[in-house]
Structure 1
Amino acid sequence: MFAANVSVDVAFTSYQKRAIKTLNLALEEMDCLWIPVIKTWKLNERMYGDLQGLNKAETANKFGEEQVTQWRRSFSVPPPPIKDDSPYHPKLDPKYKDIPKKNLPLAESLALTIQRVLPFWRQSIAPQLHKGKKVLIAAHGNSLRALVKYLDNIPEDQIVDVNIPTGVPLVYRLNRQLKPVELPGHAEGLSGVYLGDPEWVSSKVNGVKNQAAGR
């Protein structure tokens, strides 16, 4: 982003360390480690419920590939909720000790992920944009899909096929009403543009697509 002459004034990220590490790397490269950073569980990756802690092979072996594919790629069908005695239950994680247990998701579809991401967008991120601030969001495939679905008004049956590549900056320009302005070289189906060599970006998108397809 430094090479693309993109600057930021405030950053948002999740409570999960991979997003925090990614954000810190980006801010260090941009010499912007001093800017305000807001962390929130509302930008966390989707909660995979009883699938938490299982790799793809273990998940397919336990539930069957067809069922797992439906959970991973459908818009509104969540996996089974995480068991209360699971070692991966969020109630056991000190990151969430100040969050009421009733508020912690036990399993999420993309639809449910959107229900927690968008209120945070409206209450915390949008006000910064209305002030003219340039915002950087470091999050995850599903929480970012929630945002691009909202910004580009992508239908439910199409957002499931949108794959957000890992570690590739996606730049949006918004007007005064916070509606996206289509940028030159924008990604297919989006108004924003990925930064980087197009062939490299395409390989990253395909990598996520193949992972989602279980290949």
Structure 2
Amino acid sequence: MEATAFQQATGTLQPHGYSSNSALPRERENVSMRSIPKRFKLEIGGLSIRERSQKRTAGLIQASAFQTSVCNLVSVPSINAPKESKSPKKSREAALILTRHGESQWNAKNLFAGCVDVPLTQKGVEEAIEAGKRISNIPIDMIFTSALIRAQMTAMLAMTQHRRKKVPIVMHDESEQAKAWSQIFSEETEKQCIPFVTAWQLNERMYGELQGLNKQETADKYGKEQVQQWRRSYNIPPPNGESLEMCAERAVAYFKEHIEPQLQAGKNVMIAAHGNSLRSIIMYLDKLTSQEVVSLELSTGIPMLYVVKEGKYFRRGSPAAPDEAGVYAYTKHLARYRQKLDEMVN
């Protein structure tokens, strides 16, 4: 039963399917990145050849004692770690969750949205809630989203389903007055909050003069090949817009400067953003080439989990459902967290 749940939790290589873990040692890799089909899509499902090999090593990932503070603002539940032995101290482990926003109103209308700030549809709301259920047993200490409402709605709705029941608090640092006016003066309340940081650098790429246009009508006007080049090439931008390369420069730079240090400190992070900004980050995490990343597609509202340890990123796939205990036992660290949640509820 646990094996079945684990298979449901990990990504798969299939037609329009992709999963990799470039952080694993090379000698454990059974599939070369060069063998990946030209088009692939991240989905949940069965295990790929590489993942069958990685599955055997999953139990080897060890966890460190859980951190007790987040940016000096909030606390996370204390997890009882085994007594330290004389062996060398193990490095901290952290969880990284990446989630593309739920369906937006312009997704539904097949319009180029880019940096236009449009909200979710009802389907998008439901996708965000379902995403929250899938990650309801995974620790989250900080939330980062783009500055666009569809990403922020997705993160907020997802957190309503988390079993820890902490409250996301939007951080306002646009001015000293904003910082002062948003202070919390109760230590106990702070412990029940999660910092929620918004950043324009995580925005969808700016589609320039395509924003607001119907995708099919644009293909009819400019030609399918031209529009495909604007949408799928790595370094060719649409008229007065950003290429994927330009989007990656800002998104990855922000990730390295602001998010990666939190992960290295053992903080568990969720990022709710967009197809292109998340593809850029995944390119960095999985060490994809510019040719490989252009064929990478992310479904709306499907969370992806990485385990971060010793500066390496291990992709664990997409959590399948909140009621399957085996799904979340990726590591001893995450298994202990779920056990703690069970104890709190019962």
The TM-score, its normalising length taken from structure 1, stands at 0.72
Deviation at 1:165, TM superposition (A): 1.1
Deviation at 1:109, TM superposition (A): 1.1
Partner in structure 2 of residue 180 of structure 1? 313
Deviations 1:43-80 (A, max 9, x none): 00011011011111232233221100111111111101
Partner in structure 2 of residue 80 of structure 1? 239
Q: 1:55 to 1:115 in 2, by over 3 A?
A: same
Deviations 1:181-204 (A, max 9, x none): 2xxxxxxxxx3401227xxxxxxx
Determine if the alignment matches structure 1 residue 164 to structure 2 residue 307.
Answer: no
Deviation at 1:32, TM superposition (A): 3.0
Deviations 1:132-168 (A, max 9, x none): 1000000000000001100010111111111111101
Tell me the secondary structure at the aligned position of residue 271 of structure 2. strand
Tell me the secondary structure at the aligned position of residue 172 of structure 1. strand
Q: 1:3 to 1:53 in 2, by over 3 A?
A: closer
Q: 1:45 to 1:131 in 2, by over 3 A?
A: same
**Unpaired stretches in structure 1, ≥5 consecutive residues:** 82-106, 182-190, 198-215
Determine if the alignment matches structure 1 residue 7 to structure 2 residue 171.
Answer: no
Conservation of the 8 A alpha-carbon contact between 1:9 and 1:35: yes
Determine if the alignment matches structure 1 residue 68 to structure 2 residue 218.
Answer: no
Counterpart of 1:180, as a letter, is: Y
Partner in structure 1 of residue 258 of structure 2? 124
Counterpart of 1:47, as a letter, is: M
C-alpha distance in structure 2 between counterparts of 1:56 and 1:192, whole Å: 33
Among 262, 275, 280, the residue aligned to 1:141 = 275
Deviation at 1:3, TM superposition (A): 5.2
Q: 1:192 to 1:71 in 2, by over 3 A?
A: farther
C-alpha distance in structure 1 between counterparts of 2:286 and 2:249, whole Å: 17
Partner in structure 2 of residue 195 of structure 1? 319
Aligned-pair identity (%): 44
Conservation of the 8 A alpha-carbon contact between 1:10 and 1:135: yes
Partner in structure 2 of residue 99 of structure 1? none
C-alpha distance in structure 2 between counterparts of 1:48 and 1:23, whole Å: 23
Deviates more, 1:54-63 or 1:42-51: 54-63
Q: 1:43 to 1:3 in 2, by over 3 A?
A: closer
Q: 1:180 to 1:24 in 2, by over 3 A?
A: same
Counterpart of 1:27, as a letter, is: M
Tell me the secondary structure at the aligned position of residue 173 of structure 1. strand
Query: Structure 1 residue runs of 4+, over 4 Å off?
Result: 1-4
CA RMSD of aligned residues (A): 1.4
Higher RCO (CA < 8 A, seq sep 6+): 2
Deviation at 1:126, TM superposition (A): 0.9
Determine if the alignment matches structure 1 residue 17 to structure 2 residue 167.
Answer: no
Q: How many residues align?
A: 162
Counterpart of 1:195, as a letter, is: P
Whose Rg is larger?
A: 2
Deviation at 1:175, TM superposition (A): 1.2
C-alpha distance in structure 1 between counterparts of 2:216 and 2:274, whole Å: 22
Conservation of the 8 A alpha-carbon contact between 2:134 and 2:320: no
Among 47, 53, 67, the residue aligned to 2:206 = 47
Conservation of the 8 A alpha-carbon contact between 1:168 and 1:196: no
The TM-score, its normalising length taken from structure 2, stands at 0.45
Determine if the alignment matches structure 1 residue 150 to structure 2 residue 245.
Answer: no
Compare the two structures and name the one with the higher strand fraction: 2
Deviation at 1:25, TM superposition (A): 0.7
Determine if the alignment matches structure 1 residue 59 to structure 2 residue 59.
Answer: no
Counterpart of 1:161, as a letter, is: S
C-alpha distance in structure 2 between counterparts of 1:32 and 1:71, whole Å: 41
Compare the two structures and name the one with the higher helix fraction: 1
C-alpha distance in structure 1 between counterparts of 2:248 and 2:294, whole Å: 13
Counterpart of 1:21, as a letter, is: M
Tell me the secondary structure at the aligned position of residue 143 of structure 2. strand
Determine if the alignment matches structure 1 residue 113 to structure 2 residue 278.
Answer: no
Counterpart of 2:142, as a letter, is: V
